[in-house]
Amino acid sequence: MRRETEVAFQAVREAASLCMSVSAHTPAASDVVQKEDASPVTIADFGSQALVCRRLGQAFPEDGIVAEEDAAVLREKTAAPARARLLRAVQEQYAGTTMDDVLRWIDLGAGHGHDHRYWTLDPIDGTKGYIRGGQYVVALALIADGEVEIGALACPNLTLPGMTSPGVIVTAEKGGGAWSWSLQEATSLGKLHVSKEKKNPGMRFCESVESAHSAHGRSARIAADVGIGGAPVRMDSQAKYAAVAAGMAEIYLRLPVSVSYVENIWDHAAGCLIVEEAGGRVTDMHGQRLDFSRGAKLSANEGIVASHGIVHDRLIQSIQTHS
């Protein structure tokens, strides 16, 4: 395991521990802050980002970090109660931490993605899933020269085949395969491989719970066209990538709900590498590889198709037919 992978593993594991602690002590819905775009962000989002950026900043001080959150809303006068809860959560991990420390760590994530090498982080991918007690992940990836080199997903509520209880970390190194680990014990659960299912009626596809994130009706038409028989598996976050990589589903479709929507790199970088290293394939809806060389947005791509590879070209053909 590369040093970068070890650091990423420890970073997402530590952040997931904070998320679980916050959720156990305080109903997640009571910790919600609304951002300017009306999307929710929780104390756990901020705490997770602070811990991951702290560890990355110490291990790789020359690397930039492109993360989803920023500390601006926390600096508002009305955010004093949220700041107090956040500080308590971080101090459970690191006693003696000050609020200035926390805000500074969060702000380390203000990179723009134009460096030769940088990390991209979603401190809680699937915040609405976290709030409702569903799937969410801490998602971290290392990008160098436009290629994803390292991916790590901490999935506190995901149970992979063979596991008896939820909580898994999935990692991948470019050219080194994808692996799963127990979140609690940090022990290896083995190498991941995509499904080998060749019969379309036996294939399963997953998509976002939120219809605002993916066009469910269009996905259903494509599934029927390709002959996929199973009901869609809907879950929040990049846990869908982990499900495809582990053979729990063969297909993940994320089809845009508007022509103006552009995906963020932190929503896909780690999951993309994990599926590819597990033997699968990830492209946009036109069959083009995801382009991580253009900053914080996947501006050269439209939609996401991840699969075990066997029906990938047929899916792309069907998507174009139903455009």
The pLDDT tens digits for 249-286 are 999 999 888 889 999 999 999 999 999 999 999 999 99
pLDDT in tens, 102-151: 999 999 999 999 899 999 999 999 999 999 999 999 999 999 999 999 99
Domain count, the chain: 2
User: What length is written for the chain?
Assistant: 323
Alpha carbon distance 3, 9 (integer Å) = 10
Based on the fold, state whether residues 122 and 228 are members of the same structural domain: no
Question: Rounded to whole angstroms, what are the CA distances from 144 to 11, 41, 148, 150, 312?
Answer: 19, 28, 6, 9, 27
pLDDT of res. 27: 58
pLDDT of res. 38: 58
Based on the fold, state whether residues 15 and 50 are members of the same structural domain: yes
Helices in the chain by DSSP H: which ranges? Answer: 3-25, 43-59, 80-93, 99-107, 127-132, 216-226, 239-245, 269-277, 312-321
One-letter amino acid identity for 158?
Answer: L
One-letter amino acid identity for 122?
Answer: D
Helix (H), strand (E) at residue 155: strand 147-155
Ranges of the chain whose pLDDT falls below 50:
none
Instruction: Classify residue 190 by burial, with Cβ atoms within 10 Å: 0-12, 13-18, 19+.
Output: exposed
SS3 label, residue 80: helix
HEC secondary structure over 108-142? CCECCCCCCEEEEEEEEECHHHHHHCCCCEEEEEE
Based on the fold, state whether residues 128 and 243 are members of the same structural domain: no
Which residues pair with residue 173 across a beta bridge? 150, 177
Based on the fold, state whether residues 209 and 293 are members of the same structural domain: yes
pLDDT of res. 31: 67
* Residue in 318, 307, 134 with CA at minimum distance from that of residue 220: 318
pLDDT of res. 44: 95
SS3 label, residue 191: strand
Based on the fold, state whether residues 26 and 50 are members of the same structural domain: yes
For position 136, which CATH number holds? 3.30.540.10
Q: Is 267 assigned a catalytic role?
A: no
Based on the fold, state whether residues 161 and 234 are members of the same structural domain: no
pLDDT of res. 39: 75
Transcribe 198-242 into DSSP letters: --GGG--EEE-S-TTTS-HHHHHHHHHHHT--SPPEE--TTHHHH
pLDDT of res. 232: 78
Q: Which pair of tokens denotes residue 281? A: 């394939």
Q: Which pair of tokens denotes residue 79? A: 């955010």
Query: Which domain does 246 fall in, by range?
Result: 200-321
For position 231, which CATH number holds? 3.40.190.80
pLDDT of res. 234: 86
Based on the fold, state whether residues 75 and 12 are members of the same structural domain: yes
Based on the fold, state whether residues 7 and 155 are members of the same structural domain: yes
- Catalytic entry in 45, 63, 122, 267: 45
Based on the fold, state whether residues 260 and 172 are members of the same structural domain: no
Positive or negative: CA dihedral 18, 24, 29, 30: negative
Q: Which domain-ending residue is among 156, 191, 226?
A: 191
pLDDT of res. 30: 54
Q: Is 127 assigned a catalytic role?
A: yes
Instruction: Classify residue 69 by burial, with Cβ atoms within 10 Å: 0-12, 13-18, 19+.
Output: buried
* Residue in 137, 159, 130 with CA at minimum distance from that of residue 268: 137
pLDDT of res. 302: 96
Alpha carbon distance 219, 1 (integer Å) = 37
Q: Which domain-ending residue is among 133, 164, 191?
A: 191
- Catalytic entry in 127, 236, 267, 284: 127
pLDDT of res. 243: 97
* Residue in 48, 16, 13 with CA at minimum distance from that of residue 186: 13
Based on the fold, state whether residues 180 and 266 are members of the same structural domain: no
SS3 label, residue 105: helix
Instruction: Classify residue 145 by burial, with Cβ atoms within 10 Å: 0-12, 13-18, 19+.
Output: exposed
Based on the fold, state whether residues 305 and 185 are members of the same structural domain: no
Based on the fold, state whether residues 272 and 307 are members of the same structural domain: yes
Q: Which domain-ending residue is among 159, 191, 223?
A: 191
